[in-house]
């Protein structure tokens, strides 16, 4: 398992996935005999979606739906569009595609919404994840660099959640699934980021007082600087 450290200066990183096809029958990298799909999933996290409405001329949250934990990060990288690689039922069975991510209301949640409204919320979840760069699809992102060797680069944004990542590599030929390989990557905090996180978890009250003290100190310092600059 590879580890990716997140520090206070973390701006994102790239994971390179290599693989090879045993006993490859394709004559060259350009022949296109095989297709490869790489799916990278982050650890499941709960999601809350709120809908704004116009109330007395003000836009406020009017409805919300809480969903069961779903992948915090989801990337699909493939040799070509997945719709051209396999039939929809095989993609669904393999869990490949945004539409096959389980977006279900949390247990005990009674939204009082119609089926169409619920579908709208479910689509909004995926759309918001895509907007944040956490749900990514990259057609033609996997390339063969020989008869059997292939590679792809998986971009992890700066806001990728901490936790394990699971990468599944699917090998297809003529629309059929030949095999699956799974690997894992762990994203963890390091340096001052780790110290602050542990501090907030182990001593939340003291951490809160510390944060307030820093905010007050910064405000006082800014006011002093402003007064001095204004007196000249």
Q: Where are the domains of the chain?
A: 2-189, 191-232
How many Cα atoms occupy the beta-carbon half-sphere of 127 within 13 Å?
7
Radius of gyration of the chain (CA): 23
pLDDT score at 68: 83
Q: Which residues of the chain have pLDDT under 70?
A: 1-10, 51-62, 108-113, 188-232
| Closest C-alpha to 8, from 156, 155, 192, 157 | 192
* Phi, psi values for residue 37, rounded to 5°: -125, 125
pLDDT score at 176: 95
pLDDT score at 92: 93
In terms of pTM, does the model score above 0.85? no
The order of strands in the sheet holding 2-6 is 2-6, 176-189, 163-173, 35-42, 74-78, 135-138
pLDDT score at 156: 85
pLDDT score at 229: 54
| Closest C-alpha to 2, from 25, 22, 18 | 18
- What is the DSSP secondary-structure string of 141-166? --EESSSSEEEEEEEE-TTPPSEEEE
Q: How far is CA 162 from CA 29, 60, 171, 215, in A?
A: 36, 31, 28, 26
**Percent helix, percent strand, percent coil in the chain, to nearest 5:** 30, 40, 30
pLDDT score at 124: 85
């Amino acid at each position: 398992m590879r580890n990716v450290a997140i520090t206070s200066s973390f701006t994102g990183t790239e994971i390179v996935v290599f693989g090879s096809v045993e006993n490859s029958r394709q004559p060259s990298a350009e022949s296109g005999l095989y297709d490869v799909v790489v799916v990278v999933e982050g650890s499941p996290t709960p999601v809350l979606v709120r809908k704004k409405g116009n109330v007395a001329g003000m836009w406020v949250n009017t409805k919300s739906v809480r969903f069961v934990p779903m992948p915090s990060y989801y990337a699909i990288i493939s040799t070509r569009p997945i719709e051209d690689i396999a039939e929809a039922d095989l993609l669904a069975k393999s869990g490949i595609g945004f539409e096959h991510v389980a977006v279900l209301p949390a247990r005990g949640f009674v939204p009082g919404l119609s089926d169409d409204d619920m579908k709208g919320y479910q689509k909004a979840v995926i759309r918001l994840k895509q907007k944040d760069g956490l749900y990514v699809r990259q057609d033609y992102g996997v390339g063969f660099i020989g008869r059997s060797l292939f590679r792809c680069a998986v971009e992890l944004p700066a806001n990728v959640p901490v936790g394990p990542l699971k990468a599944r590599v699917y090998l297809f030929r003529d629309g059929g699934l030949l095999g699956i390989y799974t690997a894992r990557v762990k994203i963890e905090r390091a340096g001052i980021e780790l110290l602050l996180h542990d501090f907030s978890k182990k001593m939340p009250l003291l951490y809160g007082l510390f944060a307030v003290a820093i905010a007050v100190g910064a405000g006082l310092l800014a006011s002093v600087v402003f007064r001095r600059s204004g007196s000249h």
